[in-house]
Structure 1
Amino acid sequence: MKQNKNGVWVSWNENLTYNYKSLYKITTEKELQEVITNSEKVRFFGTKQSSADIASGVDTLIDITTYNKILSFNNVEHTVTVQSGVILGDLLEAVEAKGWCIPCLPDINTITIGGALATGTHGTSGKLLCEYMTKCSIVLADGSIKVITDKDELISAVRVSLGALGVFSEITFKCEPIYTLHIKERPESDDVWLPKIEERLKKHDFLRILWLPHTDKGYVITGDKIDPKTEITENLGPKYLRHRRTASKILYKYTHIFPWITAIANKLLYRGFFSSTKEHKGSLYQATVTKSRGSTLELAEWTIGLDVFPKVFEELKTEINKWSNKSFIHIPMDVRFVYKDKSWLSYAYGKDTVTMGCVSRNAATADTYEAFKSIEKIFLKYGGKPHWGKRFAAKDAELTKIYDKWEDFKLLRKELDPTNKFLNPYLTELFNEKQTTNGIT
């Protein structure tokens, strides 16, 4: 176990910085237990790609990225067991080498498994990643290990826990046989793609829409399972499409000063980078997962019931197209779909949902990006829920209204962590807890 003393923790997009007294790089479960047992306050982090202030802000930190072994495969049950610091891309490559897949994948592959689970990371046209977790061990505040399986009622609370109940140690996932998707991509007007959502969710195995604000267009991506030997005519579009991020960086450079430039930039980006049709095939991982962010961003994401989404979408579109406000949104807004589950702090608890991402290409100026405020106001109005790993302002008063199990989770958290060892200032405010010193309020 390595220890660094008196340093500065910096988030991936450099928007968050905190001083710390001790930072540990651990490689074994025993070391993880030891640090937690001997710490008054402790938080843990992976690749720091959260936009929420969830990973730091206390004296003792654990870098989980060195706790990264793939421990075992069960060929009969199609399961894989890993340490929580494994990077998602490494896990997926190992699983695919077995001829398996985890059938619902996040947007990027550079995050740690533990962080992805704790913040409710999801894919599209499927479930949250945590729904494929069949067993886990967590280190509790007293340093003991609690093993939880999908037969235990507690797993519904643990699947999405913000790292507030304990620290994920070893995790087992249920996999399925690998499959090949035939992916088709094309632009469509809003009045075409919006009414077709439910029809397409029934028809296709994969559906994702990149909405392009201020253009009245969406970029529709569908995927259908095919025999891997099926021949298709691959069309990846013009070679210049790979330069979209560079073009975005240039066009959005001064939008924090002149927000209205965004509307013009979006129209240019649509014509240049979202007006082509594409067609290709590959595994879910190969065909749909971004292999890197490529640049630093600031992100928000909100989730709403599938039945309410058309109304919310139209209200959001009307609001951001008013030139009287400054809520001009960089493209794209990622529209994905998550099916209902039973996890307490899941966005899809009890209902099928639509998620809608909101991105600021200028991470350093995100605090003045009015779009974050507008999307939050509208989604909260209709009972929408924020992504735990992304940017939002709602706290306990709002969250207790939109999460049926919020108060139950708070009671469980106090039971498992009575001295608030796992709470940093951000989580203390989120749960409306009082600051404690040495466990005494």
Structure 2
Amino acid sequence: MKKENTWISWNENVKHSFTNSYDVTTEEEFADAIKNSDSVRFYGSKQSSSDIAAGTDTLINIKNYNQIIDIDKASKKITVQSGIELKDLLEKIESLDWCIPCLPDINTITLGGALATGTHGTNGGLISSYMTSCRLIKADGTIQVINEDDMLMDAVRVSLGVLGAFSTITLQCEESYTLHLIEEPESDALWTKNLSSYLSNHDFLRILWLPHTGMGYVIKGKKIPKDQHVEEDLGPAYLKNRRKASKFLYQLTKTAPWTIYFANKILYKRFFKSRKEHKGNLYQATVTKSRGSTLELAEWTVDFDKFPSLLKELSETINSFKNKSFIHIPMDVRFVDSDDSWLSNAYKRKTVTMGCVSRDASSADSYEAFKTVENIFLKYGGRPHWGKRFAAKDPELTKLYPKWNDFKDLRKSMDPTNKFLNKYLASIFSEKI
């Protein structure tokens, strides 16, 4: 009799039984595990809010498949195994005085997972847009090398792990640079009016939107010489307690969600009214070093030109006490360049992304904000982040991604037995397993 074990996600919202598991450290082990499995998924830090990483009979843990394979100093390229965590990759890149220009705000996820789900930062492309080549383990266990000029590259860059598993990945890096950052609150009327100007005149822009307050916390950065002096001011010491205070207040609002409206105003006045000024390279200045497992996340993108209208409708909707969608703060607003990756949420368009967070993962299913945000973004042609929470399936997704049906055909040709699908992924692609 097979022994069943339980796989549990980082926030304990997703649980699946499995019977076989592999911890791989070499490409040969990784390929053999896939070849000898009927249904298989692979995972690293388990930090996806979508049900993408498990739910199959066999699971492959890639966290120890994490070595740096090659560093090409002349071309500023680095080749690594796909299970390397971003913190280890970025620290190595930083030591070379290099950077990846569009870093996400978390560094504890694996590179393979970040690429497959379209992870990104702000003021650049998805991380996958910096991939110049990869070795892909296909369903039969064979290896296919895919280079930048390969016709498959645009399909593989963001592929949810359903075309195959990333084995090794080569990334194009750039010279590191130093940012002079100023952070301060601005009214929604002001920062939305100046959005195009801010993007044109700054090298870094990120806005923490504060629902129910009429305010955003605007983070603007400009490149400066590394040795340029900046009189740093990181604000009062109590600002570091924002997450603890948020968690406490939102626990109090669970039985009466409408009180979030007032909790947000308290959090704004306490933690988002201070002006801060500092400098650092992109990694030092912008990457969150940890994230509590009590979170549940959704994120959507929309055409840059549609964002002002969308934000206006979202604001009006959630500020009506007739609605049930009172949203925890902040909602992270970032900006991503257009690309050609078939399943990228920035495919053929300059986008604005907006994250939606529940500070209590255990009650995420009843968090109405996820539903309201998704409905409004779908109305404006918004696309979901593949690694975060959303309800849209094939009928909606085919309208959002021009290459959706091409991707489905390619997936079927590369994985005819649906080896890489779990029930969640099968529902997205309208497949039966």
1:433 deviates by: 0.5
Secondary structure of the residue aligned to 1:359 is: strand
User: In the alignment, does 2:310 pair up with 1:307?
Assistant: no
Q: 8 Å contact 2:294–2:362 — kept in the other structure?
A: no
Aligned to 1:167: 165
Partner amino acid, structure 2, of 1:220 = V
Q: 8 Å contact 2:10–2:293 — kept in the other structure?
A: no
Secondary structure of the residue aligned to 2:51 is: coil
1:44-99: per-residue Cα shift (whole Å, max 9, x none)?
A: 11101100000001110001101000111001111000000000010000011111
Q: Write out aligned runs for 1:86-101 (5 A).
A: 86-101=84-99
Paired with 2:97 and 2:226, the residues of 1 have a C-alpha distance of: 12
Aligned to 1:75: 73
Aligned to 1:407: 405
Aligned to 1:250: 248
Aligned to 1:278, which of 260, 276, 279? 276
Q: Write out aligned runs for 1:126-205 (5 A).
A: 126-205=124-203
Secondary structure of the residue aligned to 2:397 is: helix
Secondary structure of the residue aligned to 1:267 is: helix
User: In the alignment, does 2:7 pair up with 1:9?
Assistant: yes
Partner amino acid, structure 2, of 1:37 = K
Secondary structure of the residue aligned to 1:253 is: helix
1:6 deviates by: 2.7
Q: 8 Å contact 1:104–1:124 — kept in the other structure?
A: yes
Paired with 1:17 and 1:256, the residues of 2 have a C-alpha distance of: 24
TM-score by length of 2: 0.99
Q: How many residues align?
A: 432
1:275-324: per-residue Cα shift (whole Å, max 9, x none)?
A: 00000000000000000103420000000000000000000000011101
User: In the alignment, does 2:378 pair up with 1:375?
Assistant: no
1:153 deviates by: 1.6
Secondary structure of the residue aligned to 1:260 is: helix
Aligned to 2:345: 347
Secondary structure of the residue aligned to 2:255 is: coil
Secondary structure of the residue aligned to 1:105 is: coil
TM-score by length of 1: 0.97
Aligned to 1:66: 64
Paired with 1:146 and 1:256, the residues of 2 have a C-alpha distance of: 50
Partner amino acid, structure 1, of 2:52 = I
Q: 8 Å contact 2:303–2:352 — kept in the other structure?
A: yes
1:199 deviates by: 1.0
User: In the alignment, does 2:267 pair up with 1:269?
Assistant: yes
Partner amino acid, structure 2, of 1:327 = S
User: In the alignment, does 2:324 pair up with 1:326?
Assistant: yes
Paired with 2:324 and 2:134, the residues of 1 have a C-alpha distance of: 45
Aligned to 1:360: 358
Q: 8 Å contact 1:256–1:369 — kept in the other structure?
A: no
Partner amino acid, structure 2, of 1:106 = P
1:256 deviates by: 2.9
Secondary structure of the residue aligned to 2:405 is: helix
Aligned to 1:235: 233
Aligned to 2:391: 393
Structure 2 residue runs without a partner (length 5+): none
Aligned to 1:110: 108
Aligned to 2:417: 419
Aligned to 1:211, which of 196, 209, 212? 209
- 419-428 or 191-200, larger mean C-alpha shift: 191-200
Secondary structure of the residue aligned to 1:282 is: strand
Q: 8 Å contact 2:331–2:354 — kept in the other structure?
A: yes
Aligned to 1:384: 382
Partner amino acid, structure 2, of 1:362 = D
Partner amino acid, structure 1, of 2:235 = G
1:326 deviates by: 0.8
Partner amino acid, structure 2, of 1:51 = S
Paired with 2:232 and 2:206, the residues of 1 have a C-alpha distance of: 19
Partner amino acid, structure 1, of 2:138 = L
Taking a change above 3 Å as real, the CA distance of residues 37 and 198 of structure 1, as seen in their structure-2 partners, is same
Taking a change above 3 Å as real, the CA distance of residues 238 and 295 of structure 1, as seen in their structure-2 partners, is farther
Paired with 2:62 and 2:399, the residues of 1 have a C-alpha distance of: 33
Paired with 1:42 and 1:390, the residues of 2 have a C-alpha distance of: 20
Secondary structure of the residue aligned to 2:192 is: helix
1:181 deviates by: 0.4
Q: 8 Å contact 2:338–2:350 — kept in the other structure?
A: yes
Partner amino acid, structure 1, of 2:342 = W
Partner amino acid, structure 2, of 1:119 = T
1:208 deviates by: 0.3
Paired with 1:255 and 1:168, the residues of 2 have a C-alpha distance of: 42
Partner amino acid, structure 2, of 1:363 = A
Partner amino acid, structure 2, of 1:303 = T
After the TM superposition, which parts of structure 1 deviate over 4 Å for at least 4 consecutive aligned residues? none
Taking a change above 3 Å as real, the CA distance of residues 295 and 42 of structure 1, as seen in their structure-2 partners, is closer
Secondary structure of the residue aligned to 1:181 is: strand
| Percent identical | 62
1:254 deviates by: 3.3
Q: 8 Å contact 1:40–1:421 — kept in the other structure?
A: yes
Paired with 2:149 and 2:281, the residues of 1 have a C-alpha distance of: 30
Structure 1 residue runs without a partner (length 5+): 436-441
Paired with 2:189 and 2:260, the residues of 1 have a C-alpha distance of: 22
